[in-house]
Chains A and B, each alone.
Chain A
Amino acid sequence: MAGENEEHTGDNEDMVSKADLDEALTRNETLEKDLEDVRMEVLTPAYQRFLDSDGKTPEKTPDEKIPDASIPDDKFEKMTKKEIFDLAVTTAEERINGTLTQREQQSKELSKAKTQREVAAFAKTHEDYETFRPIMYGISLDPKHADKSLAQLYEAAKTHVKSIHSEPSDAEKEKSRNSVNEKPGGDASSLAKLKSMDNTAIANEAAAEVEEKLGPIPTQ
């Protein structure tokens, strides 16, 4: 450029025409733009990895989900329209899925944190929460209780426990009394039945059972 200026300036070295200046500035701007384009092409991370991998296809990093970014233009030129379309669809799907997964993850974390806060608040206001917690969990597993709130589950657990600890019936009391001592040969109810039978009746009952199992009495 210096030589060129010298050639134009001639008599007055310090003077340059306005047209020449504008032309030079325009050319300078164009060259700078070209240089930047070349620099961007050469220094992209993908291109650097491509160079580092000695010409092999660079491995994709997790954050690099845009396949076309690593595909050089000449490769696009070799692809059919259908292949380009498929690539575009795949890329779009991956991007969408990635975004959705990320949002889902965030949503889960938020939901979990919210639930933990709710449970902690509930536990603070209900001293016997830990006592009923396993029963509440058991009730919540039933699909028909799936939508119940913590308070509803807590009430359901208390009702359940109350039903278990209700006053025993006369039959249960009788069974319990019979169970105080060891009752061989069956449960207390079968003992009560056997106690009301005489020995011949018991023997006949036993004989019927044996006959059912082994058939009629053999003679040999």
Chain B
Amino acid sequence: MADREGPAVQPLAEMSAVEKSFPGVRALDSVRFDLFPGEVHALMGENGAGKSTLMKILTGVYQPDGGEIRIDGKRVTVPDPQTAQSLGISIIHQELFLMNELTVAQNIFIGREPRKGLGVFVDEDRMIRGAAEIFRRMKVAIDPRTEVGQLTVARQQLVEIAKALSYDARVLIMDEPTSALNETEVEHLFSVIDDLKSHGVGVVYITHKMDEVKRIADRVTVMRDGQYIDTLPAADTPMSTIIQMMVGRDLADQHRAEGQGSDDEVLKVVGLNRGSIIRDVSFSLRKGEILGFAGLMGAGRTEVARAIFGADPIDSGDIHVHGQKRRIRSPSDAVAQGIAYLSEDRKHFGLVTGMSVRDNITMASWKRFTSGNVFMRDGSLREAARQYVGKLKVKTPSVNQETRLLSGGNQQKVVIAKWLLRDCDILIFDEPTRGIDVGAKAEIYRLLEGLAAQGKAIIVISSELPEILRLSHRIAVMCEGRITGELDGRTATQEEIMTLATQRQVSAA
């Protein structure tokens, strides 16, 4: 299809039948992608669809297991990012990689500074002239002598683009370039992109934002679960079709959450705000309920969870626990209110990996296991730990095993055990099954359902739509720091969620 729709010239870059597996995951399964000179080709798909992996292969960060890459029709291998650069392939990451204390010109020419005086001294003047020349071509007014740290994010991004152009990039990959920009900055970026197009540069544009695709892209390729779905012209494909393609897996006979929790409201959040990351978030959570938080990466779900847990400060907003307004300013305040947060990054934020299963399970409750508030009662600690190891079926040779030696699923169970032992009844799970294999996933799901049935109130943040639909009684969807809608878990569809998750600047809540 792509061949039919594309301009009748040779593609700049062409990837076909690309395969890539990681231990336990088939990240890319026979994926194809092509890019013509002077076009903007949007690459879309849910989190984990394989977009980043595909681009990492094109830029030499990963090596493909199979398939081929052609640049200007010639077959190439891209063993490392340096080779990609010399082939004219550059990427602008979502997180910029600039050195704030250096000037714009120094950043652009880092590692290949023009020299003078027998190659001993850096020729600053030539660097500044070179940078100014690139900006002139981009029709951008940035003084190459400015320190990068003084520039706005939008202008730093333009510096990154200039840096790419200084390498004579013809394939420019932009990973969600507008996520930190305001309207005017976005317009400016688009005019720069239009200009690049007219110079024959091809742009791969990774985004979740439908309106941008309409505005800037010529073609759209959709990926899903590591597979190539289709490539369509951007202008005359309805957004609903694209969303359909992104989530198109069949979940008709999928198991859904049963019941709907009680009417007993355990947690109520009103008007939570934190900078531009959390905007006026309000919701409530009931006893025995699983509330799913859906949204794309960066929508602000984790930030909301951390704010409720007191891990990050908030600008405004009220948190009511069991009907009472509470000030939660630190995780220990939150835990005292029975709120637990289980981070997606268990190794850094959930477990003390160098400590034993016993110590990790009991950690939040140590004070309870002391004689005279001083001496640890190790016997009781062991007893309690063993009890929860049994209850949650943690597979470990003993409670003295260091937790770093456990599998992901069992580590997650240890973290859950920690909070159950601490008597927390509001459990916030952030990506509860990340890094956990398929079999253990089902077990974690059953565990969460069991906990809800016992009357715990549970929030599940997940980027996997099937997971959200499988577990949630109710689903809150977030986009750009706002809750853009709430759905009934029994009837919600992937399409509905995706539509809400990409709904920008709606006067929600």
Answer yes or no: do A and B interact.
no
Seen from chain B, the residues whose Cβ lies within 8 Å of a Cβ on chain A are none
